[in-house]
Amino acid sequence: MEISEQKVVAVIMVGGPTKGTRFRPLSFNTPKPLFPLAGQPMVHHPISACKRISNLAQIFLIGFFEEREFTLYVSSISNELKIPVRYLKEDKPRGSAGGLYYFRNIIMEDNPSHIFLLNCDVCCSFPLTNMLEAHKRYGGMGTVSAETANQFGELVADPITKELLHYTEKPETFVSDLINCGLYIFTPDIFTAIQEVSTHREDQANLRHLSTFEALQSPTRAFPLDFVRLDQDILSPFAGKKQLYTYETMDFWEQIKTPGMSLKCSGLYLSQFRFTSPDLLAGGDGTRSALIVGDVYVHPSAKVHPTAKIGPNVSISANVRVGAGARLINCIVLDDVEVQENAVVINSIVGWKSSIGKWSRVQADGDYNAKLGITILGEAVMVEDEVVVINSIVLPNKTLNLSVQDEIIL
Amino acid sequence: MSAFRIEFHFLGVIKMKALILVGGFGTRLRPLTLSVPKPLVDFANKPMILHQIEALKAIGVTEVVLAINYQPEVMLNFLKEFEKKLGIKITCSQETEPLGTAGPLALARDKLIDGSGEPFFVLNSDVISEYPLKEMISFHKGHGGEASIMVTKVDEPSKYGVVVMEETTGKVERFVEKPKTFVGNKINAGIYLLNPSVLDRIELRPTSIEKEVFPNIAAANKLYAMVLPGFWMDIGQPKDYITGLRFYLDSLRKRSSAELASGSHFIGNVLVDESAVIGDGCLIGPDVAIGPGCVIESGVRLSRCSIMRGVRIKKHACVSNSIIGWHSTVGRWARLENMTILGEDVHLGDEVYSNGGVVLPHKEIKSSILKPEIVM
């Protein structure tokens, strides 16, 4: 087979509902992968990046959400990108590698030579084409993308060959400063490797009659045979055996675990649009359309009064109405929201169908990592005129007629 | 042709109807209402709304209309089950926009008026009481007015709307919202008996029954108030829910303590579902309700708390003044107090202490909550 005919598929892990309570209250009505960043659903960003790879045959989304949550999105994105995108629902937890293995027949349908594995909640530039080239040069079974960070790194890589020498999950002491970016490329050998792990585990269980005490000590005691984790069960044991390599990137990289981080990442993608798709960003000088500062996305159906001032880092979704004299800075405004005259929104996320009253103020300090560092209004929250909401989280369907600060409102 | 005078003897088969105002999102009872709509939250081992439906059925109401504006599918499923069990017709009237406290009556007009001229009940779904509805019917027929309301005496009337009435006849003079000076200590208990003509006074738009409708009827000298005998509580928020449980169990004790648990392991009034299992060495009570399928392991102390269906409380734990949501578990030696509320499927580890922790559904708690805090 010619190298140029080698097909490639991508698998994006999207997670599931009960696992991600950290994304509340935004996750109450919308699955996290569909939450919009820079005007597009979170999962859209890795999907668009995959589309740039040549010979991409299919994209698979694997997760625990009900199929119907993804039906509309998957069919519309397949149409738009002219490439099959399918959602595969896992029936039970099998670990990050176990899930991949479970769907191996579907994934290998087109006989791909390489399989990308991406985590949906990673925000980065997705340098997938370069990563694939590097992987082919290394000639191993898998390549993990890595980045230098000021954290407890999990990966140790050979500086010359880039081979993955050592991998440890969540180290408590210093091991390295290279972190796992959650993007992988594998050859189909990965399925054999995963199967070996299951088989080995089964053999262990059969061979030894563990005493109760031993059984309690065994690290695999809790896991069924087909539960295989990518980190501990594949990366760790295969490190140092000339099978796994690393690809280092220098670009921005964040994990989108909390609503606060989604605001930060929305900003990162908006600033990336400035280089990759500047036509998506809004412009305006305050004469016939609102004054736009910095990187701003405004959905075509949104109506923003010309005397409003928007930005930097603002994303406005469909059917939003922003009234005269309103000021929006560093915020995400979701569908059907009404921001009334002279209101101010800073460092906040305003949930679907909410209403921000005249002269009211919704703001936060802007610390993306603090629990109350970004103000979050859930779906259908009404902030009455002149009310001030600071550093707070408000659950759906509440009406605020008194000012609040540093509070979670159930 | 001879004229026969035929006397119709009503064999007591008068078909009365009732409307229960279920309203909105029940946000004050979160996190419990994040799992089910408020009327279906269990109180004393029964969905809140079932207490009212049963009281209505007992005095001959044949049809109940629920005025709702949220999650009708969940409600309708539940209703089918109870329609059959109770032999009473239950329908829904769904608001598409919030209609206030009177608007829903106008919306349900066709369901409430059947030409018989009989008055109909209106109940507020957050209220629990002894529901002396038969006495209310007699009171209503006695005064011949257009509308009757139950009022209840409270200690702090300024927090509510006060009903100012003539002591002897009960004729209502006026309503005063949150009075700054003392005008009376009876407040609207949320239980009404209305003639069909009241519906002619209500337009289909957001309307307040206390601010618009009742004052009009009072001005026409046709509104009468009856002091509610027995206990009354608005259990729409957790603290009042626990207080209401105490009142309810106390009233059970006064009426038929056969339902209440007895034995050396129980103090005061305790309600235990027959499918619940209680281990050795426990001390349960006072004012505790334990729901179906619960497992209370040995050495557990429970007081002033509500344990919902399917909960497991592990050995030696101590729970007071708290509400434990469906299918949650409380670890060994855990201590929960001061209005700790666990939502559905919350698992508290061994030895964890919670002082007023409010935990949203589907969480695992491994470290103590030292002061009142919401865990999302």
Reported as a single tens digit per residue, the pLDDT across A9-33 is 999 999 888 666 889 999 888 899 9
Rounded to a whole number of angstroms, the CA Rg of chain B reads 23
Contact A21 B376 (CB under 8 A): yes
pLDDT of residue B9: 39
Reported as a single tens digit per residue, the pLDDT across B163-205 is 999 989 899 998 888 888 888 899 999 999 999 999 999 988 8
pLDDT of residue B96: 84
Q: Find, in chain B, the residue whose alpha carbon is nearest to that of A398.
A: B27
pLDDT of residue A215: 52
Q: How far is B37 from chain A (nearest CA, A)?
A: 13
d(CA B297, CA B317): 9
Q: How far is B27 from chain A (nearest CA, A)?
A: 6
Interface test with A, best of B33, B71, B362 (most A CBs within 10 A): B362
Q: Find, in chain A, the residue whose alpha carbon is nearest to that of B30.
A: A410
Is B362 an interface residue toward A (CB < 8 Å)? Answer: yes
Q: How far is B284 from chain A (nearest CA, A)?
A: 30
Interface test with A, best of B28, B29, B30, B347 (most A CBs within 10 A): B30
Q: At what angle do helices B72-86 and B48-58 cross, to 10 degrees?
A: 40
Neighboring chain A residues of B376 at a CB cutoff of 8 Å = 21, 24-25, 393, 408
Q: Find, in chain A, the residue whose alpha carbon is nearest to that of B70.
A: A397
Q: Can you point out the beta strands (E) in B195-352?
A: 223-227, 232-234, 270-272, 277-278, 283-284, 288-290, 295-296, 301-307, 312-313, 318-324, 329-330, 335-337, 341-342, 346-348
Provide CB contacts within 8 A for B16, sequence distance 6+: B59, B60, B61, B62, B118, B119, B120, B121
Contact A393 B376 (CB under 8 A): yes
pLDDT of residue B177: 80
Low-confidence ranges of chain B (pLDDT < 70): 1-14
Is B133 an interface residue toward A (CB < 8 Å)? Answer: no
Is B363 an interface residue toward A (CB < 8 Å)? Answer: yes
10 Å CB burial of residue B262 (0-12, 13-18, 19+) is exposed
Is B25 an interface residue toward A (CB < 8 Å)? Answer: yes
Contact A395 B358 (CB under 8 A): no
d(CA B284, CA A328): 55
Assess contact for A89 and A16: CB atoms under 8 A. no
Closest partner CB to A408 (pick from B34, B362, B374):
B374
Neighboring chain B residues of A18 at a CB cutoff of 8 Å = 362
Is B376 an interface residue toward A (CB < 8 Å)? Answer: yes
Contact B27 A18 (CB under 8 A): no
Closest partner CB to B358 (pick from A25, A28, A410):
A410
Contact B360 A21 (CB under 8 A): yes
Reported as a single tens digit per residue, the pLDDT across A133-143 is 999 999 999 99
Place of tokens 């207080």: B243
Assess contact for B150 and B136: CB atoms under 8 A. yes
Contact A21 B362 (CB under 8 A): yes
Which tokens hold the place of A148?
Answer: 């230098």
Contact B30 A410 (CB under 8 A): yes
Confidence band for A204, pLDDT divided at 50, 70 and 90: confident
Q: How far is A21 from chain B (nearest CA, A)?
A: 7
Q: How far is B374 from chain A (nearest CA, A)?
A: 7
Is B358 an interface residue toward A (CB < 8 Å)? Answer: yes
Neighboring chain B residues of A410 at a CB cutoff of 8 Å = 27-28, 30-31, 358, 374
Amino acid at A307: T
Q: Is the ipTM reported for this complex over the cut 0.90?
A: no
Kindly list the residues of chain A whose beta carbon comes within 8 Å of any beta carbon in chain B.
Answer: 18, 21, 24-25, 28, 393, 395-398, 408, 410
Contact A397 B25 (CB under 8 A): yes
Contact B376 A397 (CB under 8 A): no
Interface test with B, best of A64, A355, A395 (most B CBs within 10 A): A395
Contact A408 B376 (CB under 8 A): yes
Neighboring chain A residues of B27 at a CB cutoff of 8 Å = 395, 397-398, 410
pLDDT of residue A211: 55
Q: How far is A410 from chain B (nearest CA, A)?
A: 6
- Does position A393 have pLDDT exceeding 80, yes or no? yes
pLDDT of residue A222: 57
Assess contact for B224 and B169: CB atoms under 8 A. yes
Q: What are phi and psi of A215, to 5 degrees?
A: -60, -40
HEC per residue, chain A:
CCHHHCCEEEEEEEECCCCCHHHCCHHHCCCHHHCEECCEECCHHHHHHHHCCCCEEEEEEEECCCHHHHHHHHHHHHHHHCCCEEEEECCCCCHHHHHHHHCHHHHCCCCCCEEEEEECCEEECCCHHHHHHHHHHHCCCEEEEEEEEEEEECEEECCCCCEEEEECCCCCCCCEEEEEEEEEEECCHHHHHHHHHHHHHHHHHHHCCCCHHHHHHCCCCCCCCCCCCHHHHHHHHHCCCCCEEEEECCCCEEECCCHHHHHHHHHHHHHHHHHHCHHHCCCCCCCCCCEECCCEEECCCCEECCCCEECCCEEECCCCEECCCCEEEEEEECCCCEECCCCEEEEEEECCCCEECCCCEEECCCCCCCCCCCEEECCCCEECCCCEEECCEECCCCEECCCEECCEEC
Contact B360 A408 (CB under 8 A): no
Provide CB contacts within 8 A for B5, sequence distance 6+: none
How far is CA A232 from each of CA A166, A169, A184, A327, B338, rounded to the nearest angstrom? 11, 7, 15, 48, 42
pLDDT of residue B13: 56
| Count of pairs with CB atoms under 8 A, one residue in A, one in B | 25
d(CA B101, CA B82): 26
With H, G, I as helix, E, B as strand and everything else as coil, classify residue B20.
strand
Of A162-176, A368-382, B99-113, highest mean pLDDT = A368-382
How confident is the model over A308-333, as a mean pLDDT?
96
> Parallel, antiparallel, or unpaired: how do β-strands A382-383 and B295-296 relate?
unpaired
Q: Find, in chain B, the residue whose alpha carbon is nearest to that of A17.
A: B362
Closest partner CB to B27 (pick from A18, A28, A410):
A410
Confidence band for A6, pLDDT divided at 50, 70 and 90: confident
Q: Find, in chain A, the residue whose alpha carbon is nearest to that of B28.
A: A410
How confident is the model over A34-51, as a mean pLDDT?
95
pLDDT of residue A330: 97
Neighboring chain A residues of B360 at a CB cutoff of 8 Å = 21, 24
How confident is the model over A248-264, as a mean pLDDT?
93
Mean pLDDT value across chain A: 90
CA contacts within 13 A on the Cβ side of A207: 6
B 80-109 near A (Cβ less than 8 A): none
d(CA A211, CA A387): 64
